[in-house]
A = this chain, B = another copy of it.
């Protein structure tokens, strides 16, 4: 940790601050102060705040695109559970992006465009995934229902962590539980799950519903 380059330390510190306090609320001075370096030094490594945000956004894109590329290996409910879990971990690690999306899109229009493209990729992957589940009999649904399920899944993975902060009783400081979020997403397909695949869902229900 201490042996990282200053550039990398800036990125990690920025990410932590953006996630904790919001993209708009964190100034470059604040980032520099957090690291114990001067604003001038920070500017040497990143000429503008926008470049920090872009770099972090790029990493987020890469991580999600990697997940999208591997969804074709999902064959059963527990595969689906795992891929959802990994996705929520990724979104949580960069949670400022979806949470502050409106601000991000208006401040940095180019990133707003790329966020749309990323969503398009997520939708494609989710549709392929739901179609596979349908074709292999894990869920019993019409093609139309599978399409809608895919949209619901992308919607949920994208917005759930932001919504959570609106539900009283969840401490904002307490970190999100990707497992709970994944379970919640799975309940979307619950009505369509064929009897043979029911066991794993019931196992999860016992684990997450008290």
Pairwise interchain contact B21-A106, C-beta atoms closer than 8 A? yes
Pairwise interchain contact A155-B160, C-beta atoms closer than 8 A? yes
Is residue A2 contacting chain B, with contact meaning CB distance below 8 A? no
Known interface pairs A22-B103, A144-B209. Does A158 touch B168 (Cβ–Cβ under 8 Å)?
no
Digitize A159-200: 1 where CB-to-B-CB distance is under 8 Å, 0 elsewhere: 110110111100000000000000010011001100000000
Is residue A33 contacting chain B, with contact meaning CB distance below 8 A? no
Pairwise interchain contact B167-A119, C-beta atoms closer than 8 A? yes
Known interface pairs A155-B160, A160-B155. Does A168 touch B119 (Cβ–Cβ under 8 Å)?
yes
Digitize A122-157: 1 where CB-to-B-CB distance is under 8 Å, 0 elsewhere: 010000000000000000000010001001100110
Give me the 6 closest cross-chain CB pairs, A-B, nearest first. A191-B191, A159-B159, A119-B166, A116-B168, A99-B102, A22-B106
Is residue A25 contacting chain B, with contact meaning CB distance below 8 A? yes
Min CB distance A101 to B, Å, is 7
Residue of B nearest to A118 (CB): B166
Which residue of the partner chain, among B116, B160, B209, contacts A166 with CB atoms under 8 Å? B116
